[in-house]
Amino acid sequence: MFKTRLLKGATVLGLVAFSFTACGTSEEGAYPDDNIELIVPFGPGGGASNFMQQLAPIAAEELGVNIRIDHVEGVGGVIGMRQLAESDNDGYTIGTYNPPATNIAQLAEGEGAGVDLYEDLTPIAIYGIGGWVMIVPSESEVDDLSSVVDQYESGEWTTLGGEHVGGPTHLIAEMMKEDDGLAYENYVGFEGGEASAAVMRGEVPAAIITDSAALAAVESGDVKVVGVLYEPGSDFYPEVPTAVEQGFSDLTDISRLTRILWAPEGIDQDRIDVLADAFQSAVEDERSLQWAEDTGSPLYFGDGDEAQEALDNAHEMLENMSNLDEIIGSE
């Protein structure tokens, strides 16, 4: 399996479109010979949108056609991915979502989701990677995950912050409670990067948040990272040991955020290869590498097999959670 690692360092809420014009033209009769729609199932300004604003124009240059980005928001990415799954599988509509987060949103919707992300889509390639970390106030004497567990076991700490209730960080927290003795009593969910602000304000003593979302608060000196919850570690915090390195369970399959390009099920493999090659070139392009360095956005290329493996592992871990339905409130 070939891969290149390039790490630095229900309601539709709206649709916003951007189109990138290729400099060249595709050979007549060859794929692609028409423009491509790329569905981002989240709003402009988010992580997926920012990555695609950088990578799609360069991929368009490689393909010789235009790539139009459509932001189709709603239900944690489910609406946009349902639209992708219902599109023709001819390679002219593709999309991006990040296991396991959107898979969890689909499970929470149950039959109302109208799409099975595990069955109805085919992975093209991985273009980025990240994951979740544990943060505490910078002035705290707690410096590692064992000390965090001690604080909860003693009753000194009772609440734990993270993203919205029923989301990935909630599942990570429950797994750490079951496997590693993280004995918090109340989980408090916040939107976006508000979990780090809650730690700064003293509303919660610790929180689970993505490594990128924590960066601003870490750089300002208001919070610190005491553990990276996925392997092989975070380029944002190379000095911080992972949970496994600290003797805790390996939760990588659910605590690593894998940014993947998708196509509708049944797309021809030759077209997958063309698209994967174009986005690999975009990931490796000097302009993208400079963007990654400037913005702290970790780029990573992995082929469709690696993407499928990431999905399979996350799916298996979710299936094996005995209290999954209770946590996510699935219908």
| CATH value at residue 189 | 3.40.190.10
CA 204-314-133 angle, 5° bins: 30
Domain extent for 169: 131-253
* Confidence at residue 8, expressed as pLDDT on a 0 to 100 scale: 36
Per-residue confidence (pLDDT) for residue 111, from 0 to 100 = 80
pLDDT value of position 129: 87
Q: What is the pLDDT of residue 27?
A: 53
Same domain for 125 and 9: yes
Q: Tally the domains of the chain.
A: 2
> Do residues 75 and 126 both lie within one domain?
yes
Point out the domain boundary residue: 211, 230, 253: 253
* Digit-coded pLDDT (tens) for 141-158: 999 999 999 999 999 999
pLDDT on residue 40: 95
pLDDT at 20: 55
- pTM, two decimals, is 0.78
In order along the chain (331 residues), what is the average pLDDT of each group of 10 residues? 36 46 57 97 85 97 97 88 95 92 78 84 94 96 98 97 84 91 94 86 95 89 97 91 96 89 97 98 97 88 94 80 65 44
At 296 the pLDDT is: 79
> Are residue 187 and residue 293 in the same domain, yes or no?
no
Residue 327 confidence (pLDDT): 67
* CATH code, domain carrying 50: 3.40.190.150
Residues 10 and 45 in one domain: yes
pLDDT number for residue 18 = 54
